[in-house]
């Protein structure tokens, strides 16, 4: 059996170890806490993504969606950077017919004449039942994260989201150092949890609310 595997930053990490240690006032040459800090960054970053309900790292996605019957088509991840193509019933839709300039930051693709709702009548009342997800969207969305940023391709993750993950880690790291007030053996990294509810610090919740989908 091998020993413990050294922790590495996940691809959805919202800050870097170097930036975090600077914020915490830790000696950059002291690596004694690096493993636990990396694990906390990974946990806090995943918690933020769950709270927001979407992926934050810039990536290309392909989604199958149903027509909405109105002018707005919502994709899962945002902000939308680029739409590669949209197909409806297998046919490519002319890019000139839709637009992301106004509401793409909230994951909304606008089309003047609407996104056709496909369904069929069912039962005596003729209630509409939606058909298959016959709209295919391939698009790029999200942010360049700090760990992958370069001079030519700088980070685009909002600073307050990076600051939030750092604050979350600072809070948890402090509890780990003090044993959560109940002695070191009574508190470990497996006990670290961030709950997004009425007990969440208001400043944290405000940031989460700011980046949830609100587009009207």
CA distance 128 to 69: 12
Q: Are residues 39 and 78 in the same domain?
A: no
Bigger pLDDT: 198 or 1?
198
* Dihedrals phi, psi of 51, to nearest 5 degrees: -65, -35
- For the four alpha carbons of 162, 212, 56 and 40, in that order, the dihedral sign comes to positive
Percent of the chain with pLDDT over 70: 82
CA distances for 198 relative to 100, 140, 160, 194, 207, angstroms: 34, 34, 21, 12, 15
9 within some domain: no
Check whether residue 88 and residue 32 sit in a common domain: no
**111 and 137 in a common domain:** yes
Q: Is the domain of 66 the same as that of 122?
A: yes
The string of pLDDT tens digits covering residues 22-77 is: 999 999 999 999 999 999 999 999 999 999 999 999 999 999 998 888 999 999 99
Domain that holds residue 81: 59-141
Question: Residue 1 falls within a domain, yes or no?
Answer: no
**Is position 10 within any domain?**
no
Is the residue at 216 inside a domain? no
Domains of the chain: total: 2
Same domain membership, residue 175 and residue 70:
no
Q: Clarify whether residues 177 and 192 are in a common domain.
A: yes
Q: Is residue 199 part of a domain?
A: yes
Q: Give the contacts of 173 (CB within 8 A, at least 6 positions apart).
A: 24, 33, 36, 37, 40
Q: Both 135 and 78 in a single domain? A: yes
The answer to whether the peptide bond before residue 79 is cis (omega within 30 degrees of 0) is: yes
Strands of the sheet with 108-111, listed across from one edge: 72-74, 108-111, 98-99
Q: Which two tokens stand for residue 194?
A: 């961030």
Name which of 128, 150, 7 is nearest 67 in CA terms. Answer: 128
d(CA 45, CA 55): 10
**106 is written with which tokens?**
């909230």
- Band of the pLDDT at 200, cuts 50, 70, 90? confident
């Amino acid at each position: 059996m091998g020993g413990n595997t050294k922790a590495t930053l996940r691809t959805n990490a919202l800050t870097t170890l170097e930036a975090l240690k600077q914020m915490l006032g830790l000696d950059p040459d002291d690596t004694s806490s690096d493993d636990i800090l990396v694990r906390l960054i990974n946990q806090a970053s995943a918690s933020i993504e769950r709270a927001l309900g979407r992926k934050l790292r810039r990536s290309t996605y392909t989604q199958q969606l149903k027509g909405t019957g109105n002018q707005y088509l919502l994709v899962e991840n945002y902000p939308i950077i680029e739409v590669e193509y949209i197909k409806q019933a297998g046919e490519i839709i002319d890019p000139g017919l839709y637009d992301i300039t106004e509401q793409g930051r909230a994951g909304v693709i606008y089309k003047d004449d609407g996104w056709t709702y496909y369904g069929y009548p069912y039962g005596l009342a003729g209630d509409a039942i939606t058909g298959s997800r016959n709209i295919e969207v391939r698009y790029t969305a999200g942010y360049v994260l700090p760990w992958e940023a370069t001079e030519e391709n700088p980070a685009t993750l909002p600073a307050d989201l990076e600051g939030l993950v750092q604050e979350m880690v600072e809070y948890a790291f402090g509890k780990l150092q003090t044993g959560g007030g109940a002695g070191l053996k009574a508190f470990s990294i497996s006990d670290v949890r961030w709950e997004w509810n009425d007990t969440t610090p208001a400043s944290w919740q405000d940031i989460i609310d700011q980046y949830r989908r609100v587009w009207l």
